[in-house]
Amino acid sequence: MKTTSKRKPNFRKLRAYAFDPSLSLKLDTAEVNEIEYTLPWEDLEKGPVGSYIEVIDYDPTIDRYYEAVDLNEPYILVENGIRPSESNPKFHQQMVYAVAMTTIKNFEKALGRKVIWSTRLLSDTTLYEEYVEKLRIYPHALREPNAYYSPHKKAILFGYFRSKASSLDIQMPDAIVFTCLSHDIIAHEVTHAILDGIFRHYNEPTNPDVLAFHEAFADIVALFQHFTFPEVLKHQIARTRGNLKNQNLLGQLAQEFGSAIGGYGSLRDAIGKVNPKTKEWEPAIPNPQDYKRTMEPHVRGSILVAAIFDAFLSIYKNRVADLLRIATGGTGILPEGELHPDLVNRMAKEASKAAKHVLNMCIRALDYCPPVDITFGDYLRAIITADIDLIKNDDQEYRLAFIDAFRKRGIYPTGIKTLSIDSLKQKELDIKFHKSNQGRSFSSNIDMNDTTKEYMAILNKYLKEYGDDIKYVTERSEIYRITTEYIRGNYDNPSGLVQGLHQRWAITIEEPGTESLSEMTGLAFHPGFENLGIKTDDQFYFPRFSIQNLRLLSRVGPDGNLLNQVVFSIFQKSGVVMNMDGTIGHFIPEVDPVPPNGFVMYGGCTLLFDLDDNSLKYIISKPIIDVEKYRLDGKYEVDEDRVRAQYNFQFNEGLEERSLYSKYFGVGLNNNFNEPFAMLHNH
């Protein structure tokens, strides 16, 4: 019987560990450690190989392949996958697939668009880059307690190793530990890969926060993805009986998730620890000094993880307050004995819901982050702005919970005067173009000169065209193809000619002569840009810039409101030299040789364009020029604060604070030519 129009199922359910195998050995956690991951159905080849990932179980340490699982086998299908087992590599393949896909889907839901992996950069300068359809996963690639995402191979390599049990009651002594069986490690590494696909430059340590952010963000995703499984929470909540007011439970749980397999626990140490005297777990008291002093990416990252977790706890507390009042008749004291299962269910649901919300907020914020040189403060602003944009009515006070948690840890964004929702929200622009019978009309809530208006008009048209072209495209490779055409321009195909923004801008405006565009973006678009160490475009007399991360996104808010936006980043490089006398000089990157004490400073801005409104909403900038100075004196100079901060970090502070491993085996601060995440994890 052959039917081509067979209805496909909506979901594929796969069994896997909720944590990692160690918890299956403990009786009290065994039952919750096995959960079903529900994934959207996709056709799978043996491996499994799907549209986003390909699992290839080749073990180079012994030069052998392991049998690959066929998830379409009927017996496997009816049983929702292979039964969790450490000793069966086919289950390992199934688990990495299940967790990786769950992570990808969480991102797609929050971002309102498809996940596209970062391209492979080529030595061939005309081709420049190559589309990567599938992230590759090697479940058994190393023999060490580590796993890492390789940006060069677009692959995740998982290690395994023999361990003396870190605690004898949960691990067999001398057992082999597989990192590919830990939910947290898989989610962590996949997040690195997704983030690399969005912000390639977040591997560049330009300030102490950048690498810390990469690590912390990956951990935040792993942690909250965990909390979205109500089964896991239910069990734990039931166990605590009358101790419900003690919100430490979730903190302890969060930390236990991390520590089960060693190395990855360190990011959660800032949440709290077991008091050696009382043997009780206690949340850590945040110390604002930590953020000032600690430079090592993991310790620093742990501050961010703790801040987000703190926000989550406040949100959860707020959400269950009424339940507790009902259950205790307003006394706050629960009767003896076990909790009512309904109460347990409801509380677990609230925790899981809060976790989902926090996870979404954290991921969504990415589109509101500057494309380079991110700091934790920038991230806080991004979280708040993104949330306001989508959710108008914050009746549960989520935003305040975030602000409060960051404030307690001394994380403040630079350049704002007070710490409030309004000041944290990025300044909203409203630059609009209308086409009517009278021709084009223009409206804007900020002043700009005519040339800039011209630039903006071109930009608006460009983004609108892009939005229209891509609106109904769902195939990832097709999205990539069209987007790349818009970024680079497509001149080979006269019938489907697409002009890139470079051409549109450079051709229309013969002489770069706009002040406002520089002022708005913080990048050098003014005459005399060469003096700030900016390269001239190969074809036009125009400052070199690049466009990255051009994406269309459509998000649905809780009130059913729809957000259709085009987001993209403009990116510029300035060659900077720190002279012996403390003054700042310039060189042109890729043209001049890098002088001693010279380095490249990246500037960039993320722009958000609202398609429905036809208006440019936000420009989130890491400037190259000192905008303030320009406004005061009308002079274009490089942003000295940024130059000095980057210099101080890259030539001094940061070098000293590197891990021993990276000092010995790395090349300076930037290990992007090696395996940056392997270096980062070996701390």
Partner 1 sequence: MKKINRCKVRMYRAGTGDCFLLKFYAGTRRKFTMLIDGGVWQGSKEYLTPFVENIKDATDGKIDLLVITHEHRDHVLMFDRCSEIFETFEIDQLWFGWTEDDGDPEVAAWKEKYGDKKKALSFAADRMNQLINDQSIRMSLAGNQAENEMYDAKVLFSDVVNGFSELHAAGFDGQKIYKGGLKGMEVVKKLKVNKVRYCRQGEIIKDIKNMEGVKFYVLGPPNMYQQVKKEHGKEGESYDHNKDLEVNDLFSLSVLKDELEPLKDDILPFDREFVIENDQMGKECFSVSNSQIRYEDPMKEWRRIDHDWLYSSGNLALRMNSLTNNLSLALAIEFEESKKVMLFPGDAEFGSWESWHKIKWHQGELKTEDLLNQTVFYKVAHHLSHNGTAASLGLEMMNHSDLVAMATLDFTNISNGWKSTMPNRKIVKELLKRTKGRLILLNDEEVYSDFEERELISTVIEKEKARMNDAEKYEFDRDFDIPKSIKVKTKGQIIEKPLYYEYAVDGR
CB of 604: closest distance to partner 1 in angstroms? 19
- Tell me if 424 sits within 8 A of 380, measured CB to CB: yes
CA atoms 35, 40, 44, 47: torsion sign? negative
CB under 8 Å to 522, separation ≥6 — which residues? 603, 605, 621, 622, 623, 624, 625, 627, 639
d(CA 626, CA 428): 21
d(CA 646, CA 653): 10
> Residue 14 or 157: which CB sits closer to partner 1?
157
> Residue 222 or 459: which CB sits closer to partner 1?
222
> Residue 112 or 139: which CB sits closer to partner 1?
139
Which residue type sits at 399?
R
CB of 666: closest distance to partner 1 in angstroms? 8
CB of 203: closest distance to partner 1 in angstroms? 13
Query: Helix or strand or coil: residue 141?
Result: strand
d(CA 30, CA 32): 6
Up-side HSE of residue 500: CA atoms within 13 Å toward CB?
Answer: 19
> Residue 113 or 188: which CB sits closer to partner 1?
188
- Tell me if 462 sits within 8 A of 501, measured CB to CB: yes
d(CA 553, CA 564): 6
> Residue 140 or 234: which CB sits closer to partner 1?
140
> Residue 223 or 678: which CB sits closer to partner 1?
678
CB of 595: closest distance to partner 1 in angstroms? 12
- Tell me if 177 sits within 8 A of 145, measured CB to CB: yes
Indicate the helix (H) or strand (E) that contains 287.
none
d(CA 536, CA 374): 26
d(CA 260, CA 166): 8
CB under 8 Å to 356, separation ≥6 — which residues? 224, 228
CB of 453: closest distance to partner 1 in angstroms? 38
CB of 230: closest distance to partner 1 in angstroms? 26
> Residue 155 or 424: which CB sits closer to partner 1?
155
What tokens does 107 get? Answer: 């991102």
> Residue 396 or 670: which CB sits closer to partner 1?
670
CB of 313: closest distance to partner 1 in angstroms? 20
- Tell me if 375 sits within 8 A of 414, measured CB to CB: yes
